[in-house]
Amino acid sequence: MVPESERIQEDELRDAWPVLEPRDRVEGFRLLPPASADDFFLSLSAMDQAGLLQALTPGERRTWMRLLPPDDAADVLQEMPPDAREGYLALLDDTFRREVLVLMAYAEDAAGGLMNPRFARVRPDASIDEALGYLRKQAREQVETVYYGYVLDAEQRLLGVVSLRQLFQAAPGKLVRDIMRTDLVTVMEDTHQEAVSRLFAEHALAAIPVVDAQGRMKGIVTVDDIVSVVQEEATEDIQKVGGMEALDAPYFEVGFLTMVKKRAGWLLILFVSEMLTATAMSRYEEEIARAVVLSLFVPLIISSGGNSGSQASTLIVRSLALTEVRLRDWWRVLRRELFSGLVLGAVLGTVGVMRILLWEHLFHSYGEHATLVALTVGFAVLGVVTWGTLSGSMLPFILRRLGFDPASASAPFVATLVDVSGLVIYFTTAELILRGTLL
């Protein structure tokens, strides 16, 4: 037993947890008061739970593995090396082990992999008092949470659902079938976790039943389960939009070489792509030599297109993720972004023209053809921003249509794409406006 004076508080350990070494985590965990240790262990991520279990003694492992509900136990085992899983499964009783093995057979990102197979069941022909008594018994013995009572027939097919509030408000003489709701929101076992999270957002439910193709109920996905899914999906999308592979663990828990590998791939692709910018510049080498002033505005032109493209790409990627925009809406988005690009380009181009003319008036910076240079920059910005906006908004649709994650249309990738085309637009505009003067 740990003396009371040596105990630490749950909040203290939680604050220090991310920077502690595995051995220090175990020591800190053992110093928690028994009343706090359960809550602390259950609040950890599956990865942290797996790491802690592997550092504990065999006797301690059995205690903590059996504390987990089946769906959480399956998540923890997925985080462990494959050759170690059998030993941890052996710590569970037969019924628990079968439930966990069934869950592990599903894909991790499917509803079947998220669900808890333990849920509150009631018979359609049970009286209100019988249903309440049965739910109370299930809550004490096996069910982790009781949001609803699920009404099943003898074949375990889902017939309806009753809330505790309905049961408490119903007249004692009624049967469950008289008050159950039959307009059900369900998901199939293979439904992707993103689709499940959208259903929670749309219907504001505390739990959603999971059924198979024959309508037999297999388990429930609770709102607690889906919170971590939403965070995981959002984190993955943000990392991809930033121009890298998604990390599979918190920042400090990703090895140095793994971190470099996940970042280097996209950086190499972007670096090679940016080489096309030098190729485009060499194509207009003579024009730059005759009108050096044009080179002063190259960063302005390509950054304007890259910024507008990145902005549009981020908007559409997030809208697709939230299903605010669907694949069939591409034409509406194209029209909207075309007009947006023209307006934004006109605003930026006007500012560019005014800046050049002002500097020429104050400092005589751009020579006798400053007005033509200003018009060149202004029209080039208009074209580049419009093109960047269209490219950035359409690329996520193209990727989704090809079966890729739209988040791969990262801001750096779009910016690189628009950089090259922006130079072509800029110098083509210069050739048209400055021919016979500077060119």
Contact call for residues 31 and 8 (beta carbons, < 8 A) = yes
Q: Looking at the structure, tell me whether residues 259 and 387 fall in a common domain.
A: yes
How many angstroms separate the CA atoms of 47 and 250, rounded? 10
CATH number of the structural domain spanning residue 174: 3.10.580.10
The pLDDT, as a whole number, for residue 362 is 92
Tokens standing for residue 230: 């939403």
Kindly state whether residue 244 falls inside one of the protein's structural domains. no
Q: Looking at the structure, tell me whether residues 279 and 386 fall in a common domain.
A: yes
Q: Looking at the structure, tell me whether residues 99 and 200 fall in a common domain.
A: no
Kindly state whether residue 43 falls inside one of the protein's structural domains. yes
Strand, helix or coil at 181?
A: strand
Q: Looking at the structure, tell me whether residues 92 and 142 fall in a common domain.
A: no
Kindly state whether residue 204 falls inside one of the protein's structural domains. yes
Q: Looking at the structure, tell me whether residues 103 and 126 fall in a common domain.
A: no
Total structural domains within the chain: 3
Alpha helices in 105-169 (DSSP H): 111-114, 128-141, 164-169
**Residue type at position 411:** A
Using alpha carbons, select from 373, 234, 406 the residue that is nearest to residue 301. 373
CATH number of the structural domain spanning residue 316: 1.10.357.20
pLDDT truncated to tens, each residue of the chain (439 aa)? 555 556 778 888 988 888 888 889 999 999 998 888 999 999 898 889 999 999 999 889 999 999 998 889 999 999 898 899 999 999 999 989 999 999 998 988 899 998 989 899 999 999 999 999 988 888 887 777 788 899 999 999 999 999 888 998 998 789 999 999 999 999 999 998 888 988 988 888 889 999 999 999 999 998 888 877 777 777 777 777 777 777 777 777 788 888 888 888 877 877 877 787 777 778 778 877 778 888 899 989 988 998 999 899 989 988 988 788 999 999 999 999 999 999 999 999 999 999 999 999 898 888 888 999 999 999 999 999 999 999 999 999 998 898 888 877 667 778 778 888 898 899 999 999 998 888 7
DSSP assignment of 322-391 equals TTSS-GGGHHHHHHHHHHHHHHHHHHHHHHHHHHHHHHHHHH--S-TTHHHHHHHHHHHHHHHHHHHHHH
Contact call for residues 374 and 380 (beta carbons, < 8 A) = no
C-beta atoms surrounding 2 within 10 Å: 12
Last residue of a domain, which of 228, 260, 280? Answer: 228
Kindly state whether residue 352 falls inside one of the protein's structural domains. yes
The pLDDT, as a whole number, for residue 1 is 54
pTM of structure: 0.70
Q: Looking at the structure, tell me whether residues 15 and 94 fall in a common domain.
A: yes
Q: Which DSSP symbol is given to 113?
A: H
CATH number of the structural domain spanning residue 74: 1.25.60.10
Kindly state whether residue 242 falls inside one of the protein's structural domains. no
Q: Looking at the structure, tell me whether residues 53 and 196 fall in a common domain.
A: no
Query: What residues pair up with 222 in beta bridges, in sequence order?
Result: 207
Tokens standing for residue 50: 């797996």
Give the range of the structural domain holding residue 48, as residue numbers without chain letter: 4-109
Kindly state whether residue 116 falls inside one of the protein's structural domains. no
Tokens standing for residue 423: 């130079």
Last residue of a domain, which of 228, 262, 297? Answer: 228
The pLDDT, as a whole number, for residue 410 is 65
Last residue of a domain, which of 228, 261, 283? Answer: 228
Tokens standing for residue 245: 């592979």
Q: Is residue 134 classed exposed, middle or buried when 0-12, 13-18 and 19+ CB atoms within 10 A define those classes?
A: middle
Q: Looking at the structure, tell me whether residues 410 and 265 fall in a common domain.
A: yes
Using alpha carbons, select from 219, 103, 139, 127 the residue that is nearest to residue 178. 127
Kindly state whether residue 237 falls inside one of the protein's structural domains. no
Tokens standing for residue 151: 């009404």
CA geometry: angle 62, 68, 72, nearest 5 deg: 125
Q: Looking at the structure, tell me whether residues 125 and 99 fall in a common domain.
A: no
Helix (H) or strand (E) holding 151: strand 148-152
Query: What residues pair up with 391 in beta bridges, in sequence order?
Result: none
Tell how far CA 247 is from the center of its chain.
Answer: 11
Q: Looking at the structure, tell me whether residues 39 and 184 fall in a common domain.
A: no
Kindly state whether residue 246 falls inside one of the protein's structural domains. no
Tell how far CA 88 is from the center of its chain.
Answer: 30
The pLDDT, as a whole number, for residue 279 is 79
Q: Looking at the structure, tell me whether residues 423 and 318 fall in a common domain.
A: yes
Tokens standing for residue 107: 């894909």
How many angstroms separate the CA atoms of 50 and 65, rounded? 10
Q: Looking at the structure, tell me whether residues 270 and 364 fall in a common domain.
A: yes
Q: Is residue 395 classed exposed, middle or buried when 0-12, 13-18 and 19+ CB atoms within 10 A define those classes?
A: buried
